[in-house]
Amino acid sequence: MNVIVCVKQIPDPATPGALDSATNTLKRDGKLILDDSDAYGVEMALQLVDAAGGGEVSLVSMAPNGETAGMRTALAMGAVKGVLVSDPALQGSDALTTAKVLAAAVQKLGGADLIIAATESSDGYTGTVPEQMAEVLGLPSVTFAKKVKIEGGVLKADRQTEAGYDEVECPLPALISVTAGVVEPRYPSFKGIMAAKSKPVDTVTAGDLGVSPAGWAGAGQKVTQVAQAEARQAGEVIEDDGETFNKVVAFLENLKVI
Amino acid sequence: MAINNVWVFAQVSNGAPTTGTLELLTKARSLTGNVTAILGGDAASVAGVLGEYGATKVYATGDLAGKLPGVAVAAAMKAVIDGGETPDLVLFPQNYEGRDVMSRLSVKLNKTVLTNSVDVVVDGDTVAATTPIFGGNTLVTTAFTGSAPYLVAFRPKSFAAESAGGAAAQVVATTVPDTGAAGAAKVTAVHVEESTGPKLDEADIVVAGGRGLGESDKFAMVEELAKLLKGAPGASRAIVDAGWVPYSYQVGQTGKVVKPSVYIAAGISGATQHMVGMKGSKNIIAINKDKEAPIFGIADLGIVGDVHKVLPKVIEALKGR
């Protein structure tokens, strides 16, 4: 069984985000790392391929400046190869363009039995790309999957709902998006990290994939205003001396909620 | 452009339209008198309430027979548009089904989407949506540059749901076209997770726990306090990622957005991604060991201390009342 995982390489979430003053879009020019949210998909893909007794895990990604640092992390975990779409013309792409580009990258890899993505990225979090990709590729999908197995060539997943969860069955090929915490991502071994350096990543442009228009021209949206929200004022901050629980109780009492 | 026709993706839970649906209808009718609800299901029992909140018409697919709404409702919407209807704006709730339907429809119509919005503004020829970013410190306004229909998804509680006392919406049956391979996923069983307290995004009091709890067993303290206060337990992304509690507990940018009267953050440092989901709370109490934790910057009452010492005492004091 072959699985393709969509991985996003994002600015380190530990550093504060910033907007590019010219375009009012997120700055993505520094060092990029593998989005934590995608480590779950990579791990799940590796486990499903293991369980199937054969096959491989490949990656697709879209990032500026030929960045592969985040993809190398996923390759170090055990993915075997990847396609990176890197193209200045893709700067400013909206989610729909991104979905079309990633779908084309999936096709360049010859498709797969299963495509896995996170439910949303940690930096832009539009949260529509996986389902848009499924529609572009004409595939069935199970979004917000929190438990996944393949039985007799059929995908069986528990899908998060407002009220609880649904059991869903879906024939392959299919696309799923997985929630965080769904599996425990492995740490890359030293051997894995060394091996990842020589694993093939095919870097292509949007044009190579036959996708256009991309970037600003294709976005269909434009940031027109950036404003500071009304700041919330800090209140009283006190060190616990063993009695501060009284303050909490008094605060709740004051609000008449107890 | 003038907005003359607004659609709302409507959802029904326990036989009634969801609060989110009523919020979007309230906003929709402030833009135009021509508001249509689109429902993946049967509308007979909800047309009254949908009308009361502003829908003049509801397209209903009837029972989806196990098909996932994303594929089915988007296909039904596309069929109605192909039949000659011309919505200017389609409003979706930012939730599981809303996101799926919107995504599928955006590809079918080749239209961009704006998500995580808290408002939509029509100004002359421009339609723009507002989205808070960086933990809600910055508001970004993004305008659509192409042609309608414009697709926008809104966070819960972006608008207050207010009845307009309208007459029942006219129910129009619509069919789901053949969705081929894309529609092959089927729901085989539905599980409702029993929760004794209020729902996280509707609770008046939320007690949320984070990494500062130290280990998963300690989340029981959070649940106990929430129960005592008749509130709902919530969680930071860190402990959801760690597998301590399910995704459905997550408060934040990628989880639920809550606006309770009181939010108690226990062992939560206040990462941007968390704050965006709770900073609209009326009152915030934070308990954290690190006095530099960003959560103290927005807390009305901040206790610099160990949650393992403070929370049990609060629980005990409340039990003794």
**Inter-chain residue contact A144 with B247, CB threshold 8 Å:** yes
* Domain with A57 in it: 3-219
Find residues 300-319 of chain B whose CB sits inside 8 Å of chain A: 300-306, 309-310, 313-314, 317-318
- Could you tell me the CATH number of the domain that includes residue A170? 3.40.50.620
Is residue A179 within 8 angstroms of chain B, CB to CB?
A: yes
Is residue A246 within 8 angstroms of chain B, CB to CB?
A: yes
B94 interaction partners in chain A (CB closer than 8 Å): 127
**Inter-chain residue contact B133 with A167, CB threshold 8 Å:** no
Nearest CA in chain A to B309: A242
Find residues 185-204 of chain A whose CB sits inside 8 Å of chain B: none
Tell me the whole-structure pTM to 2 decimals: 0.90
Find residues 85-124 of chain A whose CB sits inside 8 Å of chain B: 94-96, 99, 119-120, 122
Find residues 72-111 of chain B whose CB sits inside 8 Å of chain A: 74, 94-96, 99-100, 102-104, 106-108, 110-111
Q: Of A36, A131, A179, which has the smallest distance from its Cβ to B99's Cβ?
A: A131
For residue range B130-169, list pLDDT tens digits in order.
Answer: 998 877 778 899 999 999 999 999 998 899 999 999 999 9
Find residues 140-159 of chain A whose CB sits inside 8 Å of chain B: 140-144, 146, 158-159
pLDDT interval class at B257 (50, 70, 90): confident
**Inter-chain residue contact A138 with B113, CB threshold 8 Å:** no
Find residues 109-168 of chain B whose CB sits inside 8 Å of chain A: 110-116, 126, 128, 132-134, 136-146
Please tell me the distance in Å from A198's CA to the nearest CA on chain B. 30
For residue A15, give every residue at least 6 positions away whose Cβ sits within 8 Å of its Cβ, in sequence order, or none. Answer: A30
- What's the mean pLDDT when you consider all of chain B? 94
Is residue A126 within 8 angstroms of chain B, CB to CB?
A: yes
For residue B47, give every residue at least 6 positions away whose Cβ sits within 8 Å of its Cβ, in sequence order, or none. Answer: B58, B168, B169, B170, B171
Q: What is the pLDDT of residue B1?
A: 65
* Closest C-alpha among A192, A197, A198, A182 to residue A78: A192
Indicate if the pLDDT at residue A16 is higher than 80.
no
Q: What is the pLDDT of residue A51?
A: 96
For residue range B213-222, list pLDDT tens digits in order.
Answer: 999 999 999 9
Indicate if the pLDDT at residue B302 is higher than 70.
yes
What SS3 class is residue A32? strand
Which of A1-5, B73-77, B85-89, B249-253 bottoms out in mean pLDDT, i.e. has the lowest? B249-253
Indicate if the pLDDT at residue A104 is higher than 70.
yes
Q: What is the pLDDT of residue B266?
A: 98
For residue range A116-160, list pLDDT tens digits in order.
Answer: 999 999 888 899 999 999 999 999 999 999 999 999 999 999 999
Please report whether residue A204 resides in a domain.
yes
B114 interaction partners in chain A (CB closer than 8 Å): 221
Indicate if the pLDDT at residue B72 is higher than 90.
yes
* Closest C-alpha among A171, A127, A135 to residue B108: A135
Please tell me the distance in Å from B213's CA to the nearest CA on chain A. 16
Nearest CA in chain A to B271: A14
Is residue B295 within 8 angstroms of chain A, CB to CB?
A: no
**Inter-chain residue contact A180 with B113, CB threshold 8 Å:** no
Which of A211-225, B90-104, B244-258 bottoms out in mean pLDDT, i.e. has the lowest? A211-225
Cross-strand bridge partners of residue A149 = A156
Please report whether residue A25 resides in a domain.
yes
Residues B274/B256, Cβ–Cβ less than 8 Å: no
pLDDT interval class at A234 (50, 70, 90): confident
Measured at the alpha carbon of residue A42, what is the angle toward residues A41 and A44, in degrees to the nearest 5?
A: 65
Indicate if the pLDDT at residue A2 is higher than 70.
yes
**Inter-chain residue contact B299 with A168, CB threshold 8 Å:** no
pLDDT interval class at A233 (50, 70, 90): confident
**Largest Cα–Cα distance in chain B?**
65
Task: Please give the structure tokens belonging to residue A258.
Answer: 């107890």
Q: What is the CA radius of gyration of chain B?
A: 21
Q: Of B108, B186, B283, which has the smallest distance from its Cβ to A255's Cβ?
A: B283
How many Å separate Cα B284 from the centre of its chain?
A: 21
Residues B129/A172, Cβ–Cβ less than 8 Å: no
For residue range A36-74, list pLDDT tens digits in order.
Answer: 999 999 999 999 999 999 999 999 999 988 999 999 999
For residue range B13-66, list pLDDT tens digits in order.
Answer: 989 999 999 999 999 999 999 999 999 999 999 999 999 999 999 999 999 999
What SS3 class is residue B221? helix
Please tell me the distance in Å from A239's CA to the nearest CA on chain B. 5
Q: What is the pLDDT of residue B197?
A: 82
Q: What is the pLDDT of residue B301?
A: 97
Please state which CATH number belongs to domain B6-183.
Answer: 3.40.50.620
B182 interaction partners in chain A (CB closer than 8 Å): 134-135, 138-141
Q: Of B115, B273, B304, which has the smallest distance from its Cβ to A239's Cβ?
A: B304
Q: What is the pLDDT of residue B321?
A: 84
Rounded to an integer, the average pLDDT of B222-249 is 92
Is residue A220 within 8 angstroms of chain B, CB to CB?
A: yes
Residue type, B274: H
Give the H/E segment covering residue B9.
strand B6-10
Distance CA B105, CA B179 (A): 13
Per-domain boundaries in chain B = 6-183, 205-319
Is residue B221 within 8 angstroms of chain A, CB to CB?
A: no
Q: Of A99, A228, A252, which has the smallest distance from its Cβ to B138's Cβ?
A: A228
- The domain tally of chain A equals 1
**Inter-chain residue contact B298 with A232, CB threshold 8 Å:** yes
Distance CA B144, CA B158 (A): 20
A34 interaction partners in chain B (CB closer than 8 Å): none
A96 interaction partners in chain B (CB closer than 8 Å): 106-107, 110-113
Rounded to an integer, the average pLDDT of A105-121 is 96
Helix A129-137 and helix B96-109: axis angle, to 10°? 50
For residue range B100-125, list pLDDT tens digits in order.
Answer: 999 999 999 999 999 999 999 999 88
Indicate if the pLDDT at residue A13 is higher than 90.
no
Indicate if the pLDDT at residue B241 is higher than 90.
no
Please state which CATH number belongs to domain B205-319.
Answer: 3.40.50.1220
Task: Please give the structure tokens belonging to residue A81.
Answer: 């190869």
Rounded to an integer, the average pLDDT of B241-249 is 86
Residues B276/B221, Cβ–Cβ less than 8 Å: no
B-interface mutation test, from A40, A94, A96, most B Cβ less than 10 A away? A96
Is residue B58 within 8 angstroms of chain A, CB to CB?
A: no
Please tell me the distance in Å from B99's CA to the nearest CA on chain A. 6
Peptide bond before A140: cis, by omega within 30 degrees of 0?
Answer: no
For residue B162, give every residue at least 6 positions away whose Cβ sits within 8 Å of its Cβ, in sequence order, or none. Answer: B26, B53
Residues A3/A78, Cβ–Cβ less than 8 Å: no
**Inter-chain residue contact A160 with B248, CB threshold 8 Å:** yes
